[in-house]
Amino acid sequence: MPDFDLPLAGLRERHADDTTPDDFDAFWQDGIEAARALGGKPTAEPVDTGLTTITTHDVTFPGYGGEPVRAWLHLPRHTDGPLPVVVRYIGYGGGRGLPYEDVLWASAGYAYFVMDTRGQGSDWGLGDTADPHGSGPAYPGFATRGIGDPEEYYYRRVTIDAVRAVDAVAALATEFVEVDASRISVVGTSQGGGLALAVAGLHPAVRAAMIDVPFLCDFPRAVHIAQRGPYTELAAYMRMHRGSVARVRQTLAYFDGISHARRAMAPALFSVALMDDICPPSTVFAAYNVYGGAKEIREYEFNNHEGGGSFHAGVQLRWLSALGQGIRTASRSDSITGGGGRRVGETDC
């Protein structure tokens, strides 16, 4: 895949127009508080995975509308007291998978909470969480479900689920001595990266965010230049629903990661792939360049949407360790250092 986006110097300087609705903060606060007001507590049942160094629990917690959302809680088997927590959000089309598939962060000594994504998990990565809400006409996929109204849009439900996952970790800390709810980090790739970014802006308990090739950023540009889905789902919908373009844009403005990035203060490690035709690099940099907290980005010059892949996982492990396992007070002037890849600190952008 050849370069198709802005040159690197332009990416590092790019700032998108601010399309944040005036009631953006109220929209999210009201939705989150409505979900919390419904109450409910997470439940956790032990699972025999056959792994000898990690224990796993099948968690169900109340998400949007109090509806059940599934997750795995992985814990190192032998620990000395409460552990920092990594909450992971899944990429588009995937689910939490089988209980022994994704245990990297637990193997590294963290409590690891893997949230299922409602309605997904039949493309790759098995899913177990239903989305009981219907929608009006939609292009195949998830990106246009309920697109005519921000209150009914699919990603409102998923984002509130993601916020409630952090709430669930805090509740589980009363049951599991291995869980330290004062040291919560979020991580995700693509759709998961977009959710990690949103939660970093919406939940004050987040102490660090690892945001890889994020989806859900800079919709006005993404729908014009992305060459593969999910952004192309939005373009296809607007191609057919010609009279609904303005309404679609109004809805998407409530979900743009750029607006969440401005409100996020936890230290963040981003990654971007400069040949990414799914989440184009200019859309990633548009969010990164306005991120409110201490930040760093790793650029993978010759990669498409796979980004840094397993190599970047090693970068994340070193980066989070350098933060003191997620214990740090965010500062706009901080520069976070780690290892591997091409690193761009805040002063470089």
CA distance 322 to 312: 15
190 catalytic? Reply is: yes
SS3 state at 265: coil
At 132, list the tokens.
Answer: 């009981």
259 catalytic? Reply is: no
Phi-psi map region of 218: left, alpha, beta (phi>0 left; psi -120 to 50 alpha): left
- CA of 265: how far to CAs of 7, 185, 282, 285, 307, in Å? 28, 12, 22, 17, 24
CA distance 288 to 333: 15
The answer to whether 106 and 99 have CB atoms below 8 angstroms apart is: no
Active-site choice (57, 203, 260, 305): 305
| Nearest by Cα to 341 from 303, 305, 311 | 311
CA distance 60 to 132: 16
Active-site choice (203, 276, 277, 282): 276
Active-site choice (190, 259, 271, 282): 190
| Nearest by Cα to 140 from 161, 122, 117, 160 | 122
107 catalytic? Reply is: no
Output helix, strand, coil percentages for the chain, rounded to the nearest 5. 35, 20, 45
Outline where 94-240 has alpha helix (H).
104-107, 154-172, 191-202, 219-225, 231-240
CA distance 337 to 24: 32
Q: Which residues are catalytic?
A: 190, 276, 305
